[in-house]
Amino acid sequence: MTSRRRVAGARARALDGRRRATLPVADHASPNLEFANGTPYDEYVAAQALHGLQRPVTDVPEERAFLVTTQVMELYFGLIRSEWRLAQRLLDAGEVVQATAVLTRSVRYFEALNASWAALSWLTPAQFNSFREALGEASGFQSAMYRHLEFLLGNKSEPLTRPHKRSPAVYRELLDALRRPSLYDSVLALLARRGFELPPPGDPAAEYAPNPLVEDAWVRVYAEGGPGEELWQLAEALTDLSERFSDWRYRHLMAVRRSMGAKPGTGGSSGLSWLERSLRREVFPELWSARTRM
């Protein structure tokens, strides 16, 4: 626990019954306007620190919107990673209903994340070009937190960890995520424990490859279950998650297409064609192919 969180926890515990009695409770009461230090709101939210993180590298006004939107997305990446890790722990413990609730919650976060692209929908090529050169080689492709999401979904790739070698702590975390079972691995392990015939676990660091036995398992889940059955609900939550993630990729593709066309990416990728290839990589592929057989 960080020192800031320890201080916040201590202050929360200090807010006992006697102090609470001094706080305004009536609808017509005036808010407390005097504090010994900074406002409790800022101490908890760290608003000043957050606003201090916007450091545009140009005087172009459009850059700030680009920067803020990107930072908001990074915060959502971290939140979603935390939720998926929790869901994975619950699945490993056999707590299917609780894991499904967490996954469903993360779908809502993805809806907000995907809506963030609307904040840049007005960005024309001329406006983007007015500050693009100042970004140097910076690219969303280099987001370590986004890479964590890809790895949790089973889209593993060791070469994509290499841009982070100069940041030892970040690099170690990514390598650990690469080598650990994915969220989908945990789902399939649960199905295997429930008696479904599934292929033996493969190398967790390898990119996930579809398997007919997994498709058979999902066909059976839907054939034998219904809206009140926990594996059926888990399957639907995963399908929602996969759909929202595809939405994210598509919106990313369209934002790039709208603001820079088919130019090469700032990070050295092929830009639009790279995103088009990524869009074709399905998440939880058997949940989709099984629908053809239902």
Give the other-Cβ count within 10 Å of 142's Cβ.
Answer: 15
Helices (H), 32-182: 40-45, 47-51, 61-92, 96-115, 125-132, 144-152, 168-179
State the Cα–Cα distance between residues 102 and 191, nearest whole angstrom. 18
Q: Is 220 annotated as a binding residue?
A: no
Nearest to 288 by CA among 235, 209, 224, 231: 235
Is 180 part of any known ligand binding site?
A: no
Determine the Cα angle at 14 with ends 30 and 22, to 5°. Answer: 25
User: Per the structure block, which two tokens stand in for 241?
Assistant: 């998650």
25-59 as b/e: b if 16+ CB within 10 A:
eeeeeeeeeeeeeeeeeebeeeeeeeeeeeebeee
| Inter-residue contact 98 to 230 (CB < 8 Å) | no
- CA-closest candidate to residue 194, choices 211, 218, 210, 212: 218
266 assigned to a ligand binding site: yes
Annotated binding site for substrate: 132, 266
Task: State the binding site for heme.
Answer: 252
The binding site comprises: 132, 252, 266
